[in-house]
Structure 1
């Protein structure tokens, strides 16, 4: 019971940092208008954050590995809180990018510690299930954070969206301070420096597969607000409702992904790719029709939400004592993929229009199927 409580506390922190990273997705059109930049340039508010996480993640964990883990969790959330409260004060786009960069350095620190605690204190048969609790924070952030930011920006303005995000991080911080037990009672979280596992060919095949999956996810999803506004013709309030539908179904999708990954990781991964591919095909052809769009959003959220959990299990399934380093590699891989998705999506929009954005994800998902097949060959030959 105590460990379950710890998982939910860590999930609350995950909610806070995820909301900071991804809530801009729902207000990109408003930010582009407020700072007089293109939608593709506004997309850098997501991709710059992700680039920093991807590049500096492993180095931050190595540099800070000797510091008490609970203190690191608290300090990380403090940086996120301060950054969100500073954001409404800026009046130039470059300054906005700079303030967004600050918490990005501590994003991988929080993720790596939280995932390590979940993995190291779980029975082997419950690893995916317990990790899914941590990832539930990410899912709930899409349920509440993104639509809340969209609705707040629509009713008030974009500045209030960041203030609310700052309050969420502050609440998460207080939850960690008050309720999280000392981390030295949860097993060793020391970073190992034996990098021999990096020579594992299956690891790099998994890395490529995860990269393609998450890139495909965010190539379209990163510009979802603009698609719903420009192509589907929805208002700000309607867009926030769509994000809410997306996120609510995502709660169940995240739970299902954890359950099925414990039963059959290979089949679950394959079915996830095929389901996400089908959803994007449907979005491309029926995104302009309101009722079909609602149904597509419902299933899209259900499928999409399991992507990070599935990707984490795929990448960290290698047997090694370097689990913390694997977690930082996953965080870097995921954020490189988010960056790639944002850049590819912005390029695709600039050259082919927002109405064709789903095709970019479709192509990438087809490539992921090819890599998945290669992964099966490698594991079969072991």
Structure 2
């Protein structure tokens, strides 16, 4: 694999750490700025909502720019954003500093996926995409405990400084070591990409993945607060638990990838069922320290595979220029799910208390599970109407190698 692919993975780690890093420091921000938990939750949901709304437009605006230039621009903005967040004098400034880079977040995601695939060539494209996705996966499981630890060791401002340093390293490496990545005009043509929007099967898969992520983040977005208020853990204990959650998550992500390469529908449904079970157990034993340690370990193992499940569920079977366009849509729909989940979770917390947030997650996951069966029936109905750009068939092993 070319070194620039690993650099893009580092960039993905940086921007995802920036997005999710606030989860572990929400309690500190609530106290610092004297705001409610659901208001502080907008630092996550507002970021995600901006990504969801801006994604398709910012990708079209930058479609003809050199891919290396675009990614350097995105990482540079993320460095500035984190530094502004670190010195924010009030919640309003912090919110603005968080929202600004969110406009370019989906650009990096779509560009890095496509650029990695093209640099590696058709044979190694799945492996290249998997490497970049590893940056996202590791960030979702290690970014939160890292920023939480920095906040506990120094202050919440140090968490943003850490995120800035990570993005700066990726920016420097990309600028100095990555080759120029000019755009193929045919791939940049909107007309050649948007044909995929006529495929009803794609919309069913996007809806399923969006609701699944909403269910995941309705509780996970407030996990640090849950551990503090329900499990009565200290700041240090929360940091350790989040690290355990992330550590088992890395193993879980690998195991989920292997399972997905065998059977995507079955693995996706087992994932949803396992996550429902973990949330019910967290509700029942949330106030007991020792049981929660075990629950969090298994919860992290299951939870972290969610992005991989959602990603492969959507892009499976899509090829050509349509893949570029769908890659640009994924951040919008995934972050729409995160936004929906954190907003619904915040609503439950504000009206019924943090302990009850579990009962927002469980119904969402069950709806996603039900939709996975609807999708299977829908495939048969849509297959005859599908364009040649999107063949509806079970993938060959090399098509799902991304999960490994």
TM-score (norm 2): 0.89
Give the aligned partner of residue 31 of structure 2: 33
Q: Is the 8 A contact 1:128 1:313 kept in 2?
A: no
Write the deviation string for residues 158-192 of structure 1: whole angstroms up to 9, x where unpaired: 11111111111111112222332332499985354
- Structure-2 separation of matches of 1:157 and 1:183: 39
Q: Is the 8 A contact 1:128 1:262 kept in 2?
A: no
- Structure-1 separation of matches of 2:121 and 2:77: 33
Q: Is the 8 A contact 1:280 1:358 kept in 2?
A: yes
Within a 5 Å distance, the mapping from 1:189-204 to structure 2 comes to: 190-194=188-192, 195-204=194-203
Unaligned runs of 5+ in 1: none
- Structure-1 separation of matches of 2:256 and 2:122: 16
> CA, structure 1 residues 128+264, in 2 after alignment: closer, same or farther (shift >3 Å)?
farther
Q: Relative to structure 2, which stretch is displaced further, 248-257 or 128-137?
A: 128-137
Counterpart secondary structure, 2:188: coil
Q: Is the 8 A contact 2:64 2:185 kept in 1?
A: no
Q: Pick from 161, 164, 168: which aligns with 2:162?
A: 164
Length, aligned pairs only: 380
What displacement does 1:306 show?
A: 1.3
Q: Relative to structure 2, which stretch is displaced further, 25-34 or 135-144?
A: 135-144
Counterpart secondary structure, 2:35: coil
TM-score (norm 1): 0.94
Q: Pick from 108, 113, 124: which aligns with 2:111?
A: 113
Counterpart secondary structure, 1:322: helix
- Structure-1 separation of matches of 2:207 and 2:183: 35
Write the deviation string for residues 105-133 of structure 1: whole angstroms up to 9, x where unpaired: 11101000111134446687876654332
Give the aligned partner of residue 150 of structure 1: 148
Give the aligned partner of residue 343 of structure 1: 343
- Structure-2 separation of matches of 1:179 and 1:298: 38
Give the aligned partner of residue 365 of structure 1: 365
Within a 5 Å distance, the mapping from 1:215-364 to structure 2 comes to: 215-320=214-319, 321-364=321-364
Give the aligned partner of residue 40 of structure 2: 42
> CA, structure 1 residues 232+335, in 2 after alignment: closer, same or farther (shift >3 Å)?
same
What displacement does 1:196 show?
A: 2.6
Q: Relative to structure 2, which stretch is displaced further, 362-371 or 266-275?
A: 266-275
Q: Relative to structure 2, which stretch is displaced further, 71-80 or 298-307?
A: 298-307
Give the aligned partner of residue 132 of structure 1: 130
Counterpart secondary structure, 1:113: helix
Q: Is the 8 A contact 2:67 2:115 kept in 1?
A: no
Q: Is the 8 A contact 2:252 2:304 kept in 1?
A: yes
- Structure-2 separation of matches of 1:280 and 1:144: 21
What displacement does 1:7 show?
A: 3.0
Unaligned runs of 5+ in 2: 384-404
Counterpart secondary structure, 2:191: coil
C-alpha RMSD of matched pairs (Å): 2.1
- Structure-1 separation of matches of 2:71 and 2:191: 22
- Structure-2 separation of matches of 1:130 and 1:265: 20
Q: Is the 8 A contact 1:35 1:92 kept in 2?
A: yes
What displacement does 1:368 show?
A: 0.8
Q: Relative to structure 2, which stretch is displaced further, 110-119 or 241-250?
A: 110-119
> CA, structure 1 residues 292+129, in 2 after alignment: closer, same or farther (shift >3 Å)?
farther
> CA, structure 1 residues 233+49, in 2 after alignment: closer, same or farther (shift >3 Å)?
same
- Structure-2 separation of matches of 1:121 and 1:306: 26
